[in-house]
Structure 1
Amino acid sequence: MRTGVMILPEKRWAQSARLWQTVDELGYDSAWTYDHLSWRSLQDGAWFSTFPVLAAAAVVTHRMTLGTMVTSPNFRHPVTAAKDAVALDDISGGRFVLGIGAGSVGAGDSHVLTRQDLTASERASRFAEFVELTDRLLRSDVTTFTGEHFSAYEARMIPGCVQRPRLPLAIAAGGPRGLDLAARHGQAWVTTGPRNWAKGFTPEECLDAVTAQVTALREACSRHGRQFAEMDRIFVVTPPAGDFLSSPTAFLAQAEQYAKAGITHLVLHAPREQGVYAADPDILHRIADEVLADVRGL
């Protein structure tokens, strides 16, 4: 099992650069950041643009994978997102993963570009078209496409991705349509567990939900002739899943549970000083020193 760290883009680069470097030096496998314009309870605080932050991170790190968690159609267009992704793949030397999701209604930035409210079905359709066009753009030098939600006219992606045939896509999904999309287009799949956190869930219920999603993903891969074992299966840890950062021992125990459920990659939030995701500032060092090697062997 691999372990990644989510670093929120909320601090000036002079402050946050060292954190990205530290995560890389400690031996974590990946580092990610949210692709939002603002975010939930932090929407009135500092928040920087995702792709420039990742470009800077690519320059000061050397080995770990970098990615968006996740880019969405709420305020992105496939052509510009793909163009930025190609640049990041180049700057990072082929270490970039483009995470893509349907776009959360409650994240705080879903209506920045439009006041239009889409139904769940319309959002799913828009998401599918976003993924399909992005996939095509990243595989081709020139793409023309006309869809219901997005269009591209002789969109050029020259010189293309460093990673071939294109850089990896990590598809965030929990329902049948999204899991089917991940099976068709993704090199990785992303989940945070239950689809509707507002109902409230225990850590046990979260684990059960992820286990069921993994089973459904396996079935979707089988339908599309995909090798399930080749797909990275990423679980992004949030508070309802339990306190993964209380101690290295607790992290190892919870990692073992999710490995048994079929997860291959855990992503922890870097500790913040206060508020959401607040935790011991030294816990990432302690996990790396004490149990990271054991987790990698799961």
Structure 2
Amino acid sequence: MRIGITVLTDLPWREAAPRWRAAEEMGFAHAWTYDHLVWGGLPDAPWRAATPVLGAVAATTSRIGLGTLVASPNFRHPYQLLREAQALEDVSDGRFLLGLGTGGDLDSRLLAQPELTVRERVDRFQEDVDLLLRLRAEDHVDADGRWFSVRDARTLPPLARTPLLVAGSGPRSVRYAARVGDGWVTTGPPADTVEEWVAGLAAASRVLDEALEGRELPRYVLLDSAGTLFGGDGRTSLSSVEFFTDLVGRVGGLGFTDAITHWPRPEPPYAASERVLEQVAALLPTL
């Protein structure tokens, strides 16, 4: 099991940079951040754009994978995202992981975009990823979509080493991830208990297995489901070493290859002790 950690962009770089470097030194396989204009979990907090921060992290680390959880079509065109991914692939020497998802609707509302139904948001996301896949594979791309279009889009240099990790929890989105993704990302369902959450993950995993028809695909799970694990009681995956290892064991038993926690904060969301983080890091070689 590979273990990753998410570092939010609410802190200034002088405070955040030591955390990113520590994540690598502790032995985490990958480190992530959210990609939003404003994150709904901290709507009044300072916030920084994900891709410039990841560029800075890439320049100050050497081994750890770096990714977005998740880039969405809510405020960025897929052609723009391709260019940012190419830059991050280059700066990181191939360590960039492009997590893609439908995302929440806060960023869209901030840009006064028309309100979409959930189905329309998923339709838009799949059009976004379909075009991104074309841009990754072709040059001089022309496309006319409902939401995204390009004219003679030049795409060099090739995006050759960056996996597209497609997020989803519902059956339609999970099947889409199986069809087009280089990996699957999920938070699992909202749940009041660990058992209910694991059961939901198991159901989604079965959908993925059926769609894959025997193929293998990396599977990433966020252990802190929307910051409300579990039942809104504020307990996160790093509440204790025992709780963390129990969760990792459960998701590993479902076939997940990667599990992602969050850097502890002094207050919600993701409130936990950095001492627990250090203890968990010491166990990484055994997980």
Supply the AA of the counterpart residue of 2:252. Answer: A
Correspondence for 1:178: 173
Equivalent residues in 2 for 1:132-151, closer than 5 Å? 132-151=130-149
Cα shift readout 1:269-297 (whole Å, capped 9, x = no counterpart): 110122211110222221111x21121xx
Partner SS for 1:154: strand
| Equivalent residue, structure 2, for 1:236 | 222
Structure 2 length-normalised TM? 0.93
Moved over 4 A (4+): none
Deviations 1:6-37 (A, max 9, x none): 10011111111110000011110000000011
Match of residue 23 from structure 2? 23
SS at match of 1:240: coil
Counterpart residue number, 2:210 = 219
User: 1:194-231: per-residue Cα shift (whole Å, max 9, x none)?
Assistant: 1xx3xx52221111000110110111112xxx71x2x1
Tell me the secondary structure at the aligned position of residue 99 of structure 1: strand
Q: What is the CA distance between 1:112 and its match in structure 2? A: 1.9
Using the TM superposition, give the Cα deviation of residue 187 of structure 1 relative to its aligned residue in structure 2, in angstroms: 1.1
**What stretches of structure 2 of length at least 5 have no aligned partner?**
none
Q: What does residue 157 of structure 2 align with?
A: 159
- Structure-to-structure mapping, 1:37-56, within 5 angstroms: 37-56=37-56
1:254-269 equivalent positions in 2, closer than 5 A: 254-269=247-262
Q: 1: CA distance between counterparts of 2:152 and 2:275?
A: 50
- Residues 38-187 of structure 1: pairs in structure 2 closer than 5 A: 38-105=38-105, 108-163=106-161, 167-187=162-182
For 1:203, the equivalent position in structure 2 comes to 194
The alignment of Structure 1 onto Structure 2 pairs a total of residues equal to 280
**Amino acid in the other structure paired with 1:104:** G
Percent sequence identity over matched residues?
39
**1:75: how far off?**
0.8
Which whole-Å CA distance do the structure 2 matches of 1:81 and 1:282 have between them? Answer: 37
Paired residues of 1:103 and 1:110 also in contact (CA < 8 A): no
CA distance in 1 between counterparts of 2:279 and 2:284 reads 9
**Cα displacement (A) at 1:162:** 4.5
Q: CA deviation at 1:149?
A: 1.2
Relative to structure 2, which stretch is displaced further, 239-248 or 207-216? Answer: 239-248
Determine the C-alpha separation between the residues in 2 that align with 1:121 and 1:13: 37
Compute the displacement of 1:243 (Å): 3.6
Checking the alignment, whether the CA contact within 8 Å between 1:141 and 1:159 is kept in structure 2 is: no
Amino acid in structure 2 at the alignment position of 1:288: A
RMSD: 1.5
Paired residue type of 2:132? T
Aligned to 2:114, what secondary structure does the other structure show?
coil
**Which stretch of structure 1 is more off in the superposition, 2-11 or 142-151?**
142-151
The range that moved more, 69-78 or 109-118, is 109-118
1:173 aligned partner, one-letter code? G
- 1:142 Cα offset (Å): 2.9
Q: Does structure 1 conserve the Cα–Cα contact (< 8 Å) formed by 2:59 and 2:92?
A: yes
- Find the residue that maps to 1:252 and give its secondary structure: helix
CA distance in 1, matches of 2:83, 2:35: 15
Could you tell which deviates more after superposition, 90-99 or 35-44? Answer: 35-44
Distance 1:161 1:288 in 2: 32
Q: 5+ unaligned residues in a row in structure 1: which ranges?
A: none
TM superposition shift of 1:175? 1.5
